[in-house]
Amino acid sequence: MSINKDSAPDLYQECVTSDRDEGDEGDETTPLITNGSVQPKAKGASFASSVFNLMNAIMGSGILGLSYAMASTGIVGFSLLLVLVSSLAAYSIHLLLKLCDQTGINSYEGLGEKALQKPGKILVGISIIIQNIGAMSSYLFILKSELPAAIDSLLSPDRTVHAWYENGRLLLIIVTLCVVVPLAMLPKIGFLGCTSSLAFFFMLYFVVVVVVKKWSIPCPLPHNMTIPSDAFQISNSSDSDCTPKLFIISSKSGFAIPTMAFSFMCHTTVLPIYCELERPSKARMQNITNVSISLTFTIYLISALFGYLSFYAHVASELLLGYDAFMPRDIMVIVVRLAILLSVLLTVPLIHFPARKAVVLMLFGNRPFSWLIHIITTLTILSVSLLFALFVPDISNVFGVVGSTTSTCLLFVYPGIFYLKIHPGPLRSVDSIGAVLLVVSGFIMGIISFSVIVNAWINDS
């Protein structure tokens, strides 16, 4: 799975970017501030590697919920919403890059403090904490749902007794205690960054499997088949279910935009990547952003489309669970499940780092490192994430709530507000008007999505 790589603390080095002409590709290097002194910047990352890193930062567990979002909005409705969200995400990054050039700040919390003083820093910190806890919960939820299926696929199909190792909640607790907690306790965890390249190829393989297996799943689906995630009973499946819908409006449609916002969340990573770029300039980094978001958009659309065309209205909110009911022992499905589980397992500690960093900065400021604070903060954050994963019945709830609140703020609302507060340009400029529209769009999408989600919960109850 992908990594929201605002990850290790050492990524947050302040960089000072010299004033550049808007059209200048920028051959100058960017000095780093280390221990209060400016030092020459080492040879930076290439254009291609920066695209690769940003794509890894964008793609995450949200890809498993996009087919469900398409089933709730229709093919054309989903495509239009995906274009809207991805375009707004790219534009908000454009505003952040302009602010980075103007202020020399390369962290989201730093921009929040520059724009709104200490309340801005706290607001961004809380949003990052909630966003990353939501991301960790979604990864742990995947472990809870997929580990039993992975183990079952490797055992004899003739067994009739269910053993303890097929209990998803118990397995999740054991794995968290034995693997996630020890890795998260490390003061530095930069070595886990190497898993990002593997995560990218795992994601590509996942898309290939979704496309290939579409032709192996009949429609209408076999009678009396149950998809475990949402307990969809397929006993009423008919030929009419095999007609793709172009537009759908239902109580589940409110989950679409938050899931997409969750899936394009990379803004806390963009500025550190910019700081490490070879020959850094706003135009060069904007091109990297555009290429990364375009490629991610393509991967998201293909996986969502073929996942939807495999199960239609019966898509599970966590796509892989749909294959458990129909082809639990298919070798391609088994391999992709194991690959994703391995990536998820190593990603959770990495996502935990920026959340812990935000907590420590807000509560303890720049105090010297303390093992007691480190351990208590680590265990608290992991415990909260674990509880959500254990007791939230549906991963779409995680995508919906986190996506409609913190993801929407970090993607749309904050960049617009920060730009309006920091940038000295006239309010009638193109970017100022765009920033206002970004803030308004973010508020509207967040409020409507969250209201629809709450209404769906009320109706379901």
| pLDDT at residue number 12 | 36
- What does the alpha-carbon distance between residue 123 and residue 121 come to, in Å, rounded to a whole number? 5
In which band, very low, low, confident or very high, does the pLDDT at 38 lie, cut at 50, 70 and 90? very low
Share of the chain above pLDDT 70, in %: 81
What would the DSSP string read from start to end of 342-375? HHHHHHHHHHHHHHHHHHHHHHHTTPPP-HHHHH
Domain edges within the chain: 9-156+175-460
Highest mean pLDDT among 268-282, 390-404, 436-450: 436-450
pLDDT of 260 strictly over 80: yes
- What does the alpha-carbon distance between residue 7 and residue 324 come to, in Å, rounded to a whole number? 32
pLDDT of 384 strictly over 50: yes
* Fold held by 9-156+175-460: Amino acid/polyamine transporter I (1.20.1740)
| pLDDT at residue number 231 | 37
The mean predicted confidence, pLDDT, of the chain is: 78
Q: pLDDT digits over 108-155, tens only? A: 888 898 999 888 988 998 998 988 888 888 889 888 888 887 887 777
- What does the alpha-carbon distance between residue 262 and residue 133 come to, in Å, rounded to a whole number? 12
CA distance between the termini of the chain: 32
Check residues 423 and 32 and name the one with the higher pLDDT.
423
pLDDT of 7 strictly over 60: no
Dihedral in degrees, nearest 10, Cα atoms 388, 393, 396, 401:
-40
pLDDT of 226 strictly over 90: no
| pLDDT at residue number 30 | 40
| pLDDT at residue number 21 | 37
- What does the alpha-carbon distance between residue 138 and residue 65 come to, in Å, rounded to a whole number? 10
| pLDDT at residue number 345 | 82
Mean pLDDT of 175-198: 75
233, β-bridge pairs: 226
Q: Kindly calculate the radius of gyration of the chain based on its CA atoms and give it in whole angstroms.
A: 22
Judge whether 373 and 418 are in contact, CB under 8 Å. Answer: no
Cα-to-chain-centroid distance, residue 198: 17
Judge whether 282 and 101 are in contact, CB under 8 Å. Answer: yes
pLDDT of 51 strictly over 50: yes
Report helix, strand or coil for 327. Answer: coil
Q: pLDDT digits over 288-298, tens only? A: 999 989 998 99
- Give this prediction's pTM: 0.76
Q: pLDDT digits over 309-345, tens only? A: 888 888 877 787 777 777 777 788 888 888 888 877 8
Closest to 395 measured CA to CA, from 203, 145, 227, 226: 145
And the tokens for 177?
């205690």
CA distances from residue 264 to 80, 111, 195 in whole angstroms, order as listed: 15, 20, 20
Pairing of strands 226-227, 232-233: antiparallel
pLDDT of 238 strictly over 90: no
